[in-house]
Amino acid sequence: MSDVRFDFVKCHGSGNDFPLIDARDIALSPAEWAAVARALADRRGPVGGDGLLLLGAGDADHRFAMAMYNADGSEAETCLNGLRCVARMGFEALGIDHARVKLKTSSALAERDADVAPGVYTVRETAGPAGLDVRAWPLHAGGEGAGIEQIVDAPVPPLGSDRAFTAVAMPNPHLVAFVERIDEAELVAIGTTCESAPDWLPNRANVSFVELRGQDAGSAPGQALFVRTFERGVGLTDSCGSAMAASAFAACLTGRLAYDAPITVFNKGGLVRAAVARDAMVSLSGNATWEWHGSVEVDIAAERAGDLIVHAHADAEIAAWARIADSAGR
């Protein structure tokens, strides 16, 4: 199989944008889907995106499944911004408003939620429990940290940084540092070190710098964060859902924010509402916005996207999200 035409929705969750394909009846191997992801997510091509989302068939325990391939073709354990979009497609396809969704190595609950703003289709997702055992990544800290099981507000010696990090699996791996002010050059440097898949971190990791923000309207004092992420397989990104979940969990774990209370998590793509339970389950409520519908031809062997047909733009949804993104200070 080489040239294939795919129908898809171009969508985004909190500014994290993807082509989304209903793949329930499409028989491609993981290697072929990785090639499709590299073709469609290429920002120099006709579609572009932070990765590729697939709606998959369910099983006895799940109404449907999600797969997410990063722009480099690697498959992520999850993508919470993407999950909301996949959930929306699954809800609409099956005529339901909640589901347990199968992920690569875990599952999550998704349900239609009250709109975070007029005209903004909103999904609440609950994932976890967040994991702290870095041996499962694996992350071999080396040096004085050799043999450690957890990293909580502590340096990671091989990074060559004095920053204190908290290592959280959501279930994909995240290193979270709380900073007074985000330095993007420093973030990119640390993220690039992780992206090189060194011997001590063979499966790489997402890296986030997080600022605590002041009181947010409608939330408890201090219950707001701003998150900037260098995403594994993507690079510096406007938004990463699992990073926002990991950052919220890390903030509660380290006593910076309160468990079981609303948290507003801002990013360059907009915002989500979060809550962290004491059992380490994290919920995010945010948008699943359609931008346009189209079809595109992909030469899978050459990993190249070709003829693109745009069927319709979702102008009202685009405008509704633009209002909330602007108000979030993007």
Residue position matching structure tokens 């799940």: 62
Which residues fall within 8 angstroms of residue 227, CB to CB, at 6 or more apart?
208, 209, 210, 240, 243, 244, 247, 265, 266, 267
Distance from C-alpha of 261 to C-alpha of 228, rounded to nearest angstrom: 22
CA dihedral 222→229→205→12, nearest 10 degrees, is 110
Distance from C-alpha of 115 to C-alpha of 220, rounded to nearest angstrom: 20
DSSP state of 307: E
194 given a catalytic annotation: no
CA dihedral 136→239→234→212, nearest 10 degrees, is -60
Among candidate residues 85, 194, 240, 252, the one labeled active-site is 240
Annotate 153-201 with DSSP letters as a single string.
Answer: SB--GGG-----BEEEESSSEEEEEE-SS--HHHHHHHHHHHHT--TTS
240 given a catalytic annotation: yes
Looking at the DSSP bridge assignments, the partners of residue 67 are 54
113: three-class secondary structure by DSSP: coil
79: three-class secondary structure by DSSP: coil
Among candidate residues 79, 85, 194, 252, the one labeled active-site is 79
> The dihedral of CA 246, 247, 253, 258: what is its sign?
negative
110: three-class secondary structure by DSSP: strand
The two three-digit tokens of residue 142, written as one number? 């080396």
Give the residue numbers annotated as catalytic, written as ranges.
Answer: 79, 240
